[in-house]
A = this chain, B = another copy of it.
Amino acid sequence: MTDTPAAAPAGGPRRGRARGSYAKTEARRQEILAAAFEVFSTSGYRAGSLKDVADKVGLTQAGLLHHFPSKEALLEAVLTLRDEESMIRLSTAEAKGLDLLRGLVELTCYNTTIPGLVSLYCVLSAESTDPEHPAHAYFQRRYDWVRGTIVEAFTEVGRQGHLRTGVAPMAAARQLIALMDGLQVQWLLDNASVDMPGEVVAFLEAITTEKFQPASGPA
């Protein structure tokens, strides 16, 4: 880790001596992360193997371990990467209250296009329920953060009088998260027959006094 560049030259070659080897290594890392993501998504962490990942990028298993010191380190890198991407999607948008909830509906729509990512989190979050699992702490932290964010949103919605009477922000947050998680399992088992965004919208409209139809309807 000591002398690897923090990021690839994303905006284009840095002009001058581009030190091609660095860029190539970083590109390789990205390839590996993408492959690992796919493998962990469909098989989970424990059942997914380094060889599966290596094969996908045309490396041997030993060659792969040159880029990541261990399987566990690879998992951590995958989780960190997807987290950064999703934080950019959701939280950096600085959405609050109703806007954040609408953002969640959009996120659900988006999830519909990436079964791999949905699968990754379904399988890993269930697997990591075991305190011995390498991602256990990660998921505890993640759920805390997500719940906190959504509790804030519901609290704000309540302050503006858009929450139906008797609905507690904390309970609403837990239920919304559970609903989204649970829908994913049903959806992964049978994509065609489950309208995830539709169900989330229905739930939100049941506990608030607002409308949540996504911009482009289910047409």
- Give me the interface of A with B, judged by CB distance under 8 Å: 42-44, 46-47, 119, 122-123, 125-130, 136, 139-140, 143, 164, 166-168, 171, 174-175, 177-183, 185-186, 188-190, 194, 198-199, 202-203, 205-207
Contact = CB atoms under 8 A, between A and B. Distances in A.
Contact of A175 (B128, B130, B139, B179): B179
Contacts of A42: 130
B194 A139 contact: no
Contacts of A143: 186, 189-190
Contact of A182 (B127, B168, B177, B189): B177
Copies in the complex: 2
Contact of A199 (B44, B175, B203): B175
Most chain B CB neighbours (cut-off 10 Å) among A182, A188, A199: A182
A105 to B, nearest CB: 14
A183 B174 contact: yes
Nearest to A128: B189
Given A46-B44, A46-B46, A126-B122, A185 B181 contact: yes
